[in-house]
Structure 1
Amino acid sequence: MKSILQCLICILLLTNCTKTNNNHDYGFYYWRSTFNLNKNEQQTLNKSKVGNLYTRFFDVVKQNDQFLEVGIININKEISTDKKIVPVIFITNETWFNIKPNDIQFLAVKINERINKIHSNHKLNLENEIQIDSDWTASTKNDYFKFLQALKQISKKNITCTLRLHQVKDKLQTGIPPVDKMYLMCYATSSPLENQEQNSILDVRTLKSYLRNLEDYPIKLDIALPIYSWGIVTNHLGKKKLINALTAEELMQNKNFKMINKNNFEVLKDDFYFGLYLNKGFKIKIEEIAEKDIIESLNFIDGKLDYPFHIIYYHLDERFTKNYNTLFQ
């Protein structure tokens, strides 16, 4: 009887280790170029308790000293959701290189104008927030922070921004943005274009190393966790390219790909696949995120932060959400 009780206790302990804290409401990023939710995506979104949908509106890049708005979201019809839309603007770090003070003000004005134009054209229900996504560094922090302040003054809205893992680890060098709230991106733990065994989207051991002093970060955070996947294509010369949103299931269903092992495949026939021309013999490594890794990451963060936070999953797409039923109860 004693041994049976001990076994039951061990099972309960193991089960509890795999469960995440259910006290955190979750929401989603929307990161596709055309806004269009199918029935299942609409249902998944409706089940979430976070009142916002964090929607990428456009990117900003700098070419020949000109600021360009690229990839502007295409909205074919009214967005049918009760969630408020938070515009998310991605700005390349190169945009801040050698930027002039007048250009900082100019950029803030133009971004605010573009957001307002998208808003008025489609009668969107916007939250009183603009989120900026930019991977700033120690050399660009001052101008980036000035931009955040300028955008707040011009837009009269709450300005938030994303936070990457290295900016937590190296906060003394990269600085603390002048915002009241940030969104910690718990993914992209390494470069997918390097030769490595670990998952470049999310390697839990790497994440824990970067966030070992997370409790010391002085700004309140929400937590962004990955549910996306991609394929890393390696050609005969060892050069690599990414195919976004590719899954192992798609390759297993195609006779022109041979499975080498669980996550690695070989192209069997020259042809166009997923927007790229791939030659026979090219290798594809699929990187997907196991639910247990998401839960372990969340439990680690939960032990670091002593305040309630939201989980924002990246991103809302049925190709990904269908694989994580336990997360979206």
Structure 2
Amino acid sequence: MKIIKFLVILILLVSCSEREKHPYTFYYWKTKLSLDNEEKKALDKTTVPILYTRFFDINKVNGRFQPLAVITKDESFETDKQIVPTVFITNQTFVNISGEEIHFLAESIHHLIDKKSKEYKLKTNHEIQIDCDWTAGTRDDYFAFLKELHKISGKDIDCTLRLHQVKDKAIMGIPPVKKVFLMCYSTSSPLETSDKNSILDVNILKSYLSKLEDYPIKEIEVALPIYSWGIVTNHLGRHKLINALSQNDLKNPNFKKISDHEIEIQKDGFYFGNYLNKGFTIKVEKITNDQLRDVIAFLDKKIPLFNIVYYQLDTKFVVNQNFKLMSKFQSDF
């Protein structure tokens, strides 16, 4: 009997040691829905049966709501994952908005999501996610919109949560949702002169989230960055952002290496879809696995149970990444 009990305990320990502490998936943030082989392989390995998929953006232009960059789809976009429609809404959309406009906006978003889901035969689930960097001045109207969208759509509404909205929760308010997605990136502006990594500075993140365990909404998922970009600086010290730039992109005979992450342009020309002059510099910012592990270890002490959503699903960012290692397979004992 003792041997049998020992074997049962051993099996349980092995099973627990292989359990994934933080299941993971991705955001999909391209306007055209398509998947190449590397993206399909990365998505197939995910351990959350969901893909958070951006459907369109909303902005207010000349007093009118406008959907921008609405998704299209080609035949390569095939997945067994459930799709959660995600909509980015600019904060200015909620400036001086009336109650009637809130209803109209919620209704319009619901109908456009429904239209695109049916048109492209997307297997959506019971959720809609809203991404908005609301402020103290727009919070009441934004929160009213979230309630209205829930009422009209009949879906569970969740929303993104930025670091400053956690730190200043007394001013920023608590959104009327059951689940939030903590965006652990964009810790500073890439268009400001700084020696910090603007995608993610772990010390800044820890400062903003020092009281995360006190946040009233307890169902928190974590969005982590795996993307990179390039910051172009001209002769006047002004900055321009080029998305999805990597260190490999800096290998060009017209570039002079300044450091491991920065080059100086030696010849005027078109680079990465932009006309850039001699003397301009390009600095690539990226995220290391050590940074991600540091953030996960910190959050483990604040909110032990959470899923991870990596931003974003793109071959450039998922090749050679061991996401299972990042999401920390370890014992729960």
Residue 178 (structure 2) pairs with residue 165 (structure 1):
no
2:125 & 2:76 partners in 1: Cα distance?
Answer: 16
Q: Given the alignment, which residue of 176, 179, 194 partners 2:177?
A: 179
Secondary structure of residue in 1 paired with 2:51: strand
Q: Which residue of structure 2 lines up, in the alignment, with residue 238 of structure 1?
A: 237
Equivalent position to 1:37, from 23, 35, 39: 35
| Structure 2 partner of 1:320 | 317
* CA-to-aligned-CA distance 1:224-245 (integer Å, 9 cap, x gap): 0000000010111111110000
Whole-angstrom CA distance in 2 between matches of 1:85 and 1:268: 45
Q: SS of the counterpart of 2:250?
A: helix
Aligned partner of residue 30 in structure 2, secondary structure: coil
Counterparts in 2 of 1:50-65, with a 5 A limit? 50-65=48-63
The amino acid across from 1:85 in the alignment is I
Q: CA deviation at 1:327?
A: 3.1
- Given that 2:269 and 2:277 are in contact with CA atoms closer than 8 Å, whether structure 1 keeps it comes out as yes
Contact residue 30 and residue 316 of structure 1 kept, 8 A:
yes
- 1:79–1:124 contact (8 Å) kept in structure 2: no
Change (3 A) 1:121 1:159: same
TM-score, normalising length: structure 2: 0.90
Aligned to 2:86, which of 75, 88, 103?
88
Aligned mates of 1:31, 1:268 — CA distance in 2: 33
Residues matched between the structures, number: 307
Looking at structure 2, the residues matched to 275 and 78 of structure 1 have their Cα atoms a distance apart, in angstroms, of 26
2:264 corresponds in structure 1 to: 266
Q: Matches of 1:262 and 1:249 in 2, distance apart?
A: 11
Question: Which amino acid is 1:211 matched to?
Answer: L
Q: What secondary structure does 1:304 align onto?
A: coil
Q: Matched residues in 1 for 2:238 and 2:288: separation? A: 27
Indicate if the aligned counterparts of 2:34 and 2:76 stay in contact, CA closer than 8 A: no
The CA deviation at 1:323 is 4.5
CA distance in 2, matches of 1:281, 1:292: 33
Q: Shift of residue 78 of structure 1?
A: 6.5
| Runs of 5+ unmatched residues, structure 1 | 1-20
- Check conservation: 2:257, 2:263, Cα contact below 8 A: yes
CA contact (8 A) 1:51 1:83 kept: yes
The CA deviation string for residues 192-234 of structure 1, in whole angstroms up to 9 with x for no partner, is 1111001000000000000000001111100000000000101
The match for 1:311 is 308
Question: Is the CA contact 2:35–2:76 (under 8 Å) kept in the aligned structure 1?
Answer: no
Q: Which residue of 2 aligns with 1:110?
A: 108
Deviations, residues 96-144 of structure 1 (Å, cap 9, x unaligned): 1101110000000000010011011111100110000000011100000
Which residue identity does 2:144 align to in structure 1? K
1:73 correspondence with 2:71: yes
Aligned with residue 100 of structure 1, among 81, 98, 101: 98
Residues 1-44 of structure 1 show CA distances to partners (whole Å, capped at 9, x for unaligned) of: xxxxxxxxxxxxxxxxxxxx941100000011111111111111
Q: Deviations over 1:148-179 (max 9, x none)?
A: 00000000000000000000000000000000
Aligned to 1:224: 223
Where 1:300 maps in the other structure, the secondary structure is: helix
Task: Output the aligned Cα RMSD.
Answer: 1.3
CA distance in 1 between partners of 2:77 and 2:261 (Å):
36
Q: Which residue identity lines up with residue 307 of structure 2 in the other structure?
A: H
Q: Helix, strand or coil for the counterpart of 1:224? A: strand
